[in-house]
Amino acid sequence: MERTTIDLWVGIFVALGFAALLGLAMKVGNLTTSSIGQTYLVTANFENIGGLKPRAPVKSAGVVVGRVSEIVFDPKTYEAVVSLNIDTRYNFPKDTFANIYTAGLLGEQYIGLEAGGDEVSLKNGDKISQTQDAVVLEKLISQFLYSKATESDDKPSTTASTSTESTGDALDASPLDKIGK
Amino acid sequence: MVLHKLKRLFSKLGAGCINKIWRLGAGGRLFWLTLISSGESFRRFRLTIREVYFTGVLSLIIILVSAFFVGMVLALQGYHTLQKYGSSEAIGVLVALALVRELGPVVTALLFAGRAGTAITAEIGLMKATEQLSAMEMMAVSPIARVIAPRFWAGVIAMPVLATLFSMVGILGGYLVAVPLIGVDAGAFWSQMQANVDWEFDILNGVFKSVVFGVACTMIALFEGYDAPPTAEGVSRATTRTVVTSSLAVLGLDFILTSFMIAV
């Protein structure tokens, strides 16, 4: 094989490889979309972070403005301390609200920032004081069941008392109602 | 009688173990010698370029065609399952992550072992059988620096390039099946992919994997050829062993690398 032909083919080969890597970076990967340049760090304490993980997005109005860099447990307050890297292009007021939301019903969890009205904006190392925990599905379900259970407990006694009042029949009334009278 | 048989069995086992360990050591020694005498393959880079042509460029067809089909099959299979959960738009993520993280590096390495690894083993084995390597030594030319090292570096260069091309062409194949054929929305296909494929964690880790596989596959092929008995049968057996050992090494290494990458 001619020397220059080999050189040409190897050149094309390597160039194709770089083009493919560039294609992966630009078209497939998130190098362009989520390249967060300069960031500043703020922390937020949560009582329960649910399934939040490091590198989860931080969104405001649905736009990714940063990423979760670290999650540690504070043994003094028994809270989770979440560090957020936020793009320096975006300034948030000091009284910004940090919530943990879930994308879809079973999707990944992310932090949503809701800007407050303070004039002073968050700086590097600041702490977001107003936070809302993740919604834990089990808790929600148990609350729902509990409220249902109390509802169904209430119902029979109220119907019983109304029936005694309307008919005045002592046989229908429970002993407790008699004592009340 | 029984004792005698038992004795033979154990000595066979021992000999097998010693042989395996000896080969591992000899392979490690060759790897080290290759590394320290690879100066020439960079000073005379043309030697390496020639080998990149033979291992990389000539493997391009098989890699690209299989990548295309692997991507298309992934899209078909993925769609079949994802549509049950009403999330057929996630097919782009599925295809891209599967290719970039696993299938790209692994399938490329397996094909590379079959296509280029065997060629390297057979070539070096025949060089040894026809005493070309000894002739080089007689002329005070180190066969490791002149023959082994350029092939090694060529394999290390070619593998990541091939794996990256595999992933890209596979994704294009998946796109062709998912968007024009099945009718998934093109915007959702690409945007979901971009949102979920991470440059560092997914793509660079995949490239790193393929570099490791390149080292392993090429080194195994070179060692098997260098170590082959200088007979026709010896070379043919060495060629077979190259494919078997490389494939097992790639799959084993893949598990180890993946467990480290996922754990961090």
Decide: A59 and A112 in contact? Cβ < 8 Å.
Answer: yes
Q: Are residues A58 and A146 in the same domain?
A: no
Range of the domain at A143: 139-180
Q: State the total domains in chain A.
A: 2
- Paired with A102 in beta bridges are A109
Cβ–Cβ gap A17/B52 under 8 Å: no
DSSP 8-state class, residue B178 = I
* pLDDT for residue A181: 43
Q: What average pLDDT does range A111-117 have in this prediction?
A: 87
* pLDDT for residue A64: 83
* pLDDT for residue B264: 59
- Please indicate, yes or no, if residue A150 is contained in any of the structural domains: yes
Nearest CA in chain A to B61: A13
Q: Are residues A77 and A147 in the same domain?
A: no
Least confident residue range of A4-18, A149-163, B29-43, B111-125: A149-163
* pLDDT for residue A135: 79
Over 70: is that where the pLDDT of A164 sits?
no
pTM of the complete model: 0.74
* pLDDT for residue A129: 85
A25 vs B contacts (CB less than 8 Å): 199, 203
- Please indicate, yes or no, if residue A12 is contained in any of the structural domains: no
Spatial separation of the C-alpha atoms in residues A16 and A12, rounded to whole Å: 6
Residue recorded with tokens 């490889």? A17
- Please indicate, yes or no, if residue A26 is contained in any of the structural domains: no
Over 80: is that where the pLDDT of A37 sits?
no
Interface mutation vs chain A, best among B199, B202, B204, B261, most A CBs within 10 Å: B199
B63 vs A contacts (CB less than 8 Å): none
Q: Are residues A103 and A122 in the same domain?
A: yes
* pLDDT for residue A170: 47
Q: Are residues A43 and A121 in the same domain?
A: yes
Residues 44-103 of chain A with CB under 8 A from chain B are 55
Decide: A151 and A159 in contact? Cβ < 8 Å.
Answer: no
Highest mean pLDDT range out of A56-60, A172-176, B2-6?
A: B2-6
Q: Are residues A119 and A153 in the same domain?
A: no
- Please indicate, yes or no, if residue A22 is contained in any of the structural domains: no
> What is the sign of the dihedral through the CA atoms of B110, B116, B122 and B124?
negative
Q: Are residues A51 and A99 in the same domain?
A: yes
* pLDDT for residue A36: 62
- Please indicate, yes or no, if residue A97 is contained in any of the structural domains: yes
* pLDDT for residue A178: 47
* pLDDT for residue A54: 80
| A28 vs B46, B60, B96: nearest CB | B96
Q: Which of A102, A120, A135 corresponds to the end of one domain?
A: A135
Which pLDDT band, with edges at 50, 70 and 90, does A165 fall under? Answer: very low
Residues in chain A: 181
Q: Are residues A167 and A102 in the same domain?
A: no
Q: What does the angle CA B190 – CA B208 – CA B165 come to, to the nearest 5 degrees?
A: 50
A21 vs chain B: nearest CA distance in angstroms? Answer: 6
Q: Are residues A80 and A122 in the same domain?
A: yes
Which residues touch A102 (CB under 8 Å, ≥6 apart)?
A: A50, A108, A109, A110, A134, A135
**Contact status of B116 with chain A (Cβ, < 8 Å):** no
- Please indicate, yes or no, if residue A98 is contained in any of the structural domains: yes
Spatial separation of the C-alpha atoms in residues B124 and B121, rounded to whole Å: 5
Least confident residue range of A7-11, A12-16, B192-196: B192-196
* pLDDT for residue A163: 46
Decide: B86 and B188 in contact? Cβ < 8 Å.
Answer: no
| Per-residue tens of pLDDT for chain B, all 264 residues | 889 999 999 999 999 999 999 999 999 999 999 999 988 888 888 889 999 999 999 999 999 999 999 999 999 999 999 888 878 888 989 999 999 999 999 999 999 999 999 999 999 999 999 999 999 999 999 999 999 999 999 999 999 999 999 999 999 999 999 999 988 888 888 888 888 888 888 899 999 999 999 999 999 999 999 999 999 999 999 999 999 999 999 999 999 999 998 875
Greatest distance between any 2 Cα atoms in chain B: 76
Q: Are residues A79 and A44 in the same domain?
A: yes
Cα distance between the two ends of chain A: 112
Cβ–Cβ gap B161/A16 under 8 Å: yes
Q: Are residues A159 and A127 in the same domain?
A: no
- Please indicate, yes or no, if residue A28 is contained in any of the structural domains: no
Interface mutation vs chain A, best among B194, B196, B207, B211, most A CBs within 10 Å: B194
Q: Are residues A70 and A108 in the same domain?
A: yes
A24 vs chain B: nearest CA distance in angstroms? Answer: 7
**Contact status of B100 with chain A (Cβ, < 8 Å):** yes
Q: Are residues A146 and A127 in the same domain?
A: no
A12 vs B contacts (CB less than 8 Å): 57
* Strand runs labelled E in chain B: none
- CATH code, domain with A62: 2.40.30
Nearest CA in chain A to B92: A28
Which pLDDT band, with edges at 50, 70 and 90, does A35 fall under? Answer: low
- Please indicate, yes or no, if residue A32 is contained in any of the structural domains: no
**Contact status of B52 with chain A (Cβ, < 8 Å):** yes
